[in-house]
Amino acid sequence: MKTTTEIGLSLVIPVFNEAENLDELIRRCLEVCLQTKRIFEIVLVDDGSSDASPAMISRAAEKHPGQIVGILLNRNYGQHAAVVAGLTESCGEIVVTLDADLQNPPEEIPKLLQETDKGIDVVGTIRMNRRDSFFRKFSSSLVNSMVRRATGVRMNDYGCMLRAYRRNVVDAMLQCHEHSTFIPILANSFAGSTSEIPVQHEARTQGDSKYSFLKLISLQFDLLTSMSTFPLRLLSFLGTTIAISGTLFGVFLMVMRFAMGTEWAAQGVFTLFALLYIFIGAQFIALGLLGEYIGRIYQDVRARPRFFIQEIVGNSPGIQGKK
């Protein structure tokens, strides 16, 4: 991992079969970066494309030495893995991620930089008049509200990859070695301060979305499991609810039996149901307990750093010795 902070701005862009978009993407990104008057690098990560993208990236890197870096992965690992690969090689003080399909206009980058210049760690974006299908918009609004509840971080749009991160957050993310990562959420878990700004969103003009329905589902699972072990706890809640309703049903049957006589409720058949509910509930509770342990194992196996020290002020001989 490089740690040079000479470079002010790194763009990290995952590319998967985007040959039709690359030329325009590179042209527009270079233009924007030059306007910012910062030392910059554009890191293009080819995620195992089968079209001309890797060759085009290599050519661009040769043509713009010191400005464009190409990282070619040997096969397709998925957008977020590709972004992580780009982050490991990036060395800018500010890192901006965006999509290669020009749905995130590079011209919006200076707006993000204005925010990071205020000292904000993670700058998210809200897509104004989002140009995606109704299904995509609907499912992402569901997911966004779920994430807000689970993480407690009030951001409106987790799906938009046009985002800016400060170097300390990037370094923190790189210390997380878990396989299924969802970068915006991971970043927020290390961000001291976040903000969110509105940006334009364009329709995809060239090529198709690289997310099939199945890939979207697997992404949602990555997202869900990356942010919490709450689904495991849900088992205990479910079990308790079933067991309590079974018990209440049993009590109700008993009262009614005394009131209405033995003939009532099919001569005890319903009592069996009540018992069954209680046992099923107990099983779920047991599963939920197992889940609690698994959740803790999961947290430990991921071995995310527990905290990050921003700065140490003052010194003692002990701390100096460790440096």
Strands 122-127 and 40-46 come out as unpaired
| Residue spans of beta strands (DSSP E) within the chain | 9-15, 40-46, 68-72, 94-97, 122-127, 163-166, 194-199
Cβ atoms of 12 and 43 within 8 Å: the answer is yes
Position among 11, 100, 223, 242 found at the interface with ligand UDP (CB under 6 A): 100
15 binds ligand UDP (CB under 6 A): yes
- Residue 84 gets which letter from DSSP? H
| Residue spans of beta strands (DSSP E) within 55-190 | 68-72, 94-97, 122-127, 163-166
Judged by beta carbon, residue 8 or residue 207, the one nearer Mg ion is 207
Shortest distance in whole angstroms from residue 41 CB to ligand UDP: 18
Among Mg ion, ligand UDP, none, the one that 115 touches (CB under a kind-dependent 5 to 8 A) is none
CA distances from 171 to 91, 127, 197, 313 (A): 10, 27, 23, 20
Question: What Rg, from alpha-carbon coordinates, does the chain have?
Answer: 26
Shortest distance in whole angstroms from residue 186 CB to Mg ion: 20
Side chain identity at residue 175, one-letter code: Q
Stretch near Mg ion under the rule CB under 5 A, chosen from 65-73, 99-107, 213-221, 228-236: 99-107
Among ligand UDP, Mg ion, none, the one that 273 touches (CB under a kind-dependent 5 to 8 A) is none
Its sign, for the CA torsion 35, 41, 43, 44, is: positive
Judged by beta carbon, residue 46 or residue 99, the one nearer Mg ion is 99
103 binds Mg ion (CB under 5 A): yes
101 binds Mg ion (CB under 5 A): yes
Q: CB neighbours of 223 closer than 8 A, spacing ≥ 6?
A: 143, 147, 158, 182, 185
Judged by beta carbon, residue 18 or residue 115, the one nearer ligand UDP is 18
Position among 76, 220, 228, 229 found at the interface with ligand UDP (CB under 6 A): 76
Shortest distance in whole angstroms from residue 188 CB to ligand UDP: 19
Footprint (CB under 6 A) of ligand UDP, residues 211-230: 211
- Residue 200 gets which letter from DSSP? -
Side chain identity at residue 163, one-letter code: R
Stretch near ligand UDP under the rule CB under 6 A, chosen from 100-108, 144-152, 256-264, 272-280: 100-108
78 binds ligand UDP (CB under 6 A): yes
Binding region for Mg ion (CB under 5 A): 99, 101, 103
Binding region for ligand UDP (CB under 6 A): 14-16, 18, 47, 76, 78-79, 82, 99-101, 103, 209-211
